[in-house]
């Protein structure tokens, strides 16, 4: 793997599950680019980079809603279900998962360490992805446990899943390479329902 990419891996976040819904379609995916995005406790905010080629991307852009979930360090199956397949390949990625509706109408996962319900307040085009900034509008804590960090994920991923993960990552990186150069600074956050 590219040596610089390996250094940059130290800057990845815990492994979180992102959920969203728009126009009758709900979905979830996995991300390791989540950040606390506000230092002000009374204005809680988070951010996350979502690749433009992910099905979830356009759902978040349309609805302006996403759920961000901290996972326990044993929640491997959830990561495979949401992170190693796309909604373009399966009809309902939530099949078998307990899902509840948040106050905004965003679907949220029940069996997690913590669920943050977020409303997008700004977005930045990064070429290959969009950085969504969200106000946290509700928080619910679930069963206690250790957090699924990226370090834990990479160290303990079983070999068969590692092979799938690395193949899918390389394929996504190939598709995103040209897009990554093409940043449109004017493409900010027009508000929910407005696809660029
Ligand atoms: C550990 C891990 C971390 C990931 N991090 C991100 C990320 O930060 N941003 C992103 O857009 N995709 C990320 N992905 C990839 C998406 O979860 C994956 O492409 C998913 O299949 C997208 O689903 P969708 O097309 O149904 O939206 C990650 C996947 C895994 C397994």
Of 160, 145, 180, 150, the C-alpha closest to 30 is 150
Q: What pLDDT is attached to residue 21?
A: 97
CB of 102 closer than 8 Å to CB of 20? no
CA-33 nearest atom, ligand 1: 8
**Does residue 91 fall inside a structural domain?**
yes
- CA quadruple 100, 56, 2, 73: dihedral, nearest 10: 10
**Does residue 143 fall inside a structural domain?**
yes
**Does residue 188 fall inside a structural domain?**
no
**Does residue 135 fall inside a structural domain?**
yes
CA of 31 to the centre of ligand 1 (A): 5
Q: Residue 126 belongs to a domain with what CATH number?
A: 2.30.110.10
Q: What pLDDT is attached to residue 179?
A: 95
**Residue identifier of the C-alpha nearest atom 6 of ligand 1:** 31
Contacting residues for 40 by C-beta, under 8 A, at least 6 apart: none
**Does residue 146 fall inside a structural domain?**
yes
Kindly list the averaged pLDDT for each block of 10 residues, start to end, along the chain of length 196: 87 96 96 97 97 97 97 98 97 97 97 98 96 98 96 97 96 95 91 66
**Does residue 187 fall inside a structural domain?**
no
Count: domains in the chain: 1
Contacting residues for 141 by C-beta, under 8 A, at least 6 apart: 113, 114
Q: What pLDDT is attached to residue 193?
A: 72
**Residue identifier of the C-alpha nearest atom 10 of ligand 1:** 50
pTM beyond 0.75:
yes
Does ligand 1 have an atom closer than 6 angstroms to the CB of 19? no
**Does residue 37 fall inside a structural domain?**
yes
Does ligand 1 have an atom closer than 6 angstroms to the CB of 148? no
**Does residue 123 fall inside a structural domain?**
yes
Q: What pLDDT is attached to residue 195?
A: 53
Contacting residues for 147 by C-beta, under 8 A, at least 6 apart: 14, 70, 71, 72, 73, 113
166 lies in which domain range? Answer: 13-180
Of 74, 52, 56, the C-alpha closest to 18 is 56
Does ligand 1 have an atom closer than 6 angstroms to the CB of 56? yes
CA of 192 to the centre of ligand 1 (A): 22
């Amino acid at each position: 793997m590219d040596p610089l990419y390996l250094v940059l891996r130290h800057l990845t976040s815990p492994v979180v599950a992102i959920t969203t819904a728009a126009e009758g379609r709900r979905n979830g995916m996995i991300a390791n680019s989540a950040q606390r995005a506000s230092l002000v406790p009374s204005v809680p905010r988070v951010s996350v980079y979502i690749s433009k080629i992910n099905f979830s991307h356009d759902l978040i852009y349309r609805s302006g809603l996403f759920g961000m979930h901290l996972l326990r360090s044993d929640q491997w199956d959830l990561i495979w279900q949401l992170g190693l397949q796309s909604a373009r390949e399966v009809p309902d990625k939530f099949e078998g998962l307990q899902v509840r509706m948040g106050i905004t109408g965003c679907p949220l996962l029940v069996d997690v360490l913590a669920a943050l319900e977020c409303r997008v307040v700004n977005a930045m085009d990064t070429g290959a992805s969009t950085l969504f900034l969200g106000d946290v509008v509700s928080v619910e804590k679930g069963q206690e446990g250790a957090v699924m960090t990226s370090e834990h994920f990479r160290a303990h991923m079983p070999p068969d899943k590692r092979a799938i993960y690395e193949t899918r990552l390389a394929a996504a990186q190939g598709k995103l390479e040209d897009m990554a150069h093409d940043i449109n600074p004017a493409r900010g956050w027009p508000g929910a329902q407005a696809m660029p």
